[in-house]
Amino acid sequence: MVIIINIIIFTTTIIIVFNATNSLLEESAVARGVRRVIAVTGAKAREAHQRGEDLFRLLRRSEVAEIEGNVAVAEAGLAEAEALLSAGGQSAWRRADARERVSALRAASLARAKVAAKGRAAAMKERAVAEAAGAAEAGVRFAVARVDDISIGEAGVGFGENAKEESKLALTALKAMTKATEKKRKKDKKKKREKEGREGLGEEEDASACMVLSASVSSGVLTVQCKAQLIGSPSSSSSSSSSSSSSSLSAKAWVVAALDSCGGRGGGTDSLAQGTAAVELTSCSTDGSGGLEGEEMVRAEVDAHLAAVERAARAWADVNMKS
């Protein structure tokens, strides 16, 4: 039975006792001096009591997992608790208590995600800089760094889950990569100056280029992030090439060529460009199951798509950015 009572408050204190056989679902203001109480009795009350027990059990499990450092269990418990709380049906006092506990758990989750993102950003920059250094040592004018498989802590299979955040991290990695490349170019130019004296100081250096490839997976869709930057003057290195070479050294053209293999698009300028491609993954489970084996299948499919983009990027660069 559902009971709705409008209580007109004067100066009398009203005390209503609720237990397992009757439960207060809502208490709110209707008008000045009038409060509305919605309660249930009998089977409805027992159902509300059980919903509250289920909610508190999930919260306790998530809180214990948070203390023990079991991130996966803590996040799963929090998600289920938020879903139950959103569905409603618990007593008013349990809902009020649950909101506070959910808020505390969500704050801990956000703080953990922030730390993980910071660690992932540092690892992505390190990977990109190492790729740039390797290309420079090999005398190659371009560097392509894949940072999609960076895994920090319990970040699952490594790729990100939010395309917008992953785009920011990829751009940070590209900046670190180009900064390291520029530093190496200046160092090499200084050595050349010391070796050859003032001769050849007016000569222009060949342009270099850097590209970062990353990925995020959400709801069964892979989003490939591709960002590229040209370092130096493309006109100087193309002056001795064919007539069509004026557009050959282009960050935008490089990004477009790289993403063409998976139907992506790119935009920007000849010096700085970016693009994305969205690919529906066939290995993602539609019902959320799959476990570790499912994650490995997703990882393999993501790797295959990124490898194709990387091959296309290197093939284009081999033709248009020969040392």
Domain residue ranges of the chain, discontinuous segments joined by +: 2-90, 117-320
Question: How far apart, in whole angstroms, are the C-alpha atoms of residue 57 and residue 70?
Answer: 17
pLDDT per residue as tens digits for the range 151-190: 443 334 355 667 788 888 889 999 999 998 888 888 877 7
pLDDT 10s digits, 225-280: 999 999 876 544 444 444 334 346 789 999 999 999 888 999 999 999 999 999 99
Q: Measured between alpha carbons, how far is residue 158 from residues 76, 119, 121, 147, 175 in Å?
A: 18, 12, 12, 9, 21
> What's the pLDDT at 198?
55
- Give the integer Cα–Cα distance in Å for 53 and 58: 9
DSSP-based three-state secondary structure for 260? helix
Q: How far apart are the first and last CA of the chain?
A: 82
CA 14 to chain centre: 52
Quick one: tokens of 58? Answer: 């999930």
pTM, full prediction: 0.66
Token representation of residue 235: 């006109």
The two structure tokens encoding residue 84: 């139950």
Q: Are 84 and 58 in contact (CB under 8 A)?
A: yes
